[in-house]
Copies of this chain bind each other. A is one copy, B any other.
Amino acid sequence: MTEPSTLQDRLIAQFDAMPPQMQIAAKHLIDHPQDVALMSMRDLARRAGVSPATMTRLAQFLGASGYEDLRHEQAETIRRGEGFAARALATPHSAPEALVQQVLEELARHVATLTQPETLASIAAAARALSKARRIFVLGARSCHAIAWHFHYVMSLLGERTRHLDGPGGTGPDALMRAQPGDMLLAISVSPYAAAGLELAAHARTQGLGVVAITDSAVAPLAGLADHLLVCPTASPGFFHSLTPAMALSEALCALLAESDRAGALAGLERSDAQLRALGTYATAIPRRPG
């Protein structure tokens, strides 16, 4: 009688009873259910980092006679449009749900806005400039700290080129003392514009650093002293300014920088990975759920 359950539900329900490799496979199916019907089992297994045999075993573990059973089931699900397309149904939401929907829809729209051709060109140009820099100093005060830190963190996995102008005791800006010609500054600043960040950016500018600015207006304080200006929308139906589009910009920059030196990025990542694994930083196995 309990048969209307979806593939994902069954995978989740039985997840804890699976052997490790099968859990890896199951996790992949849960996270990419569409791919069950859209690609071959062997390809899927390769992406999941699992032997093809494991996929067959997983299918049989779920009670199916084989993997093709799963495929047919998922194909039927997709045909019914339950894949993703359940949009724009009349939405008899509660008040809070309506608000979340508004917020998220606006964020999605804002991020989509960034794909305008001129914006793309600005991003590409900024990335090109940053990729040539000897060092990249990263600056983001107050709310923009999140973006600055994230950019620095990601880049630090690739190598040693970024310096984050922040730190305990207010000693963050000190790193600028070692700035040299050929270095660049990535500064993030949205309204209300933190004075400290602006002063530091202006100072860096006087030292001859090139400036890439992520900010919320073409006439924001940072705009005047930026060599490359990336404007991101921050409006939101909610209480606060949004930093999601700024985060998207930052991630786009990271993607470009990694791509511009693919080999170097890979090498750096591998070195990071080796150390992090050696230190047991990451959980390796998918742990059982506590009973």
- Nearest CB in chain B: distance from A261 CB, A: 11
Q: Which of A120, A146, A242, A290 has the most CB of B within 10 A?
A: A146
Copies per complex of this chain: 2
Residues of B within 8 A of A255 (CB): 99-100, 103, 236-240
Q: Separation in Å of the A4 CB from the closest CB of chain B?
A: 15
Q: A282 and B225 in contact (CB under 8 A), knowing A81-B85, A255-B99? A: no
A48 CB to closest chain B CB (Å) equals 12
User: A39: CB under 8 A from chain B?
Assistant: yes
Q: List the B residue with the shortest CB-CB distance to A93.
A: B120
Let me know if B99 and A121 touch, CB within 8 A. no
Does residue A123 face the partner (Cβ distance < 8 Å to B)?
yes
For the complex, is A115 an interface residue (Cβ under 8 Å from B)? yes
Residue picked from A115, A145, A150, most chain B C-beta under 10 Å: A115
Q: Assess the A115–B108 pair: CB atoms within 8 A.
A: yes
- B residues in contact with A107, CB < 8 Å: 111, 248, 251
Spot the interface stretch: A30-38, A50-58, A177-185.
A30-38
For the complex, give the distance between the alpha carbons of A38 and B78 in Å. Answer: 9
Give the A interface residue count (CB, 8 A).
Answer: 109
A62 at the interface (CB under 8 A from B): no
Name A123's contact: one of B84, B100, B202, B244 (CB within 8 Å).
B100
CA distance A96 to B244 in the complex (A): 22
Is A135 at the interface (CB under 8 A from chain B)?
Answer: no
Which A residues fall within an 8 A CB radius of B?
A: 8, 11-12, 15, 23, 26-27, 30-31, 34, 37-39, 75, 78-79, 81-87, 89, 91, 93-94, 96-97, 99-101, 103-105, 107-109, 111-117, 120-121, 123-124, 127-128, 142-143, 145-147, 149-150, 153-154, 168, 192-196, 198, 202, 205-206, 216-221, 223-225, 236-240, 242-244, 247-248, 251-252, 254-256, 258-260, 265, 269, 276, 280-283, 286-290
Chain B residues with CB under 8 A of A283: 192-195, 198, 221
Complex Cα–Cα for A113 and B112 (A) = 13
- Out of B93, B101, B153, which one reaches A142, CB within 8 Å? B153
B-chain residues with CB within 8 Å of residue A94 when the two chains form the complex:
124
Cβ contact within 8 Å between A104 and B115: yes
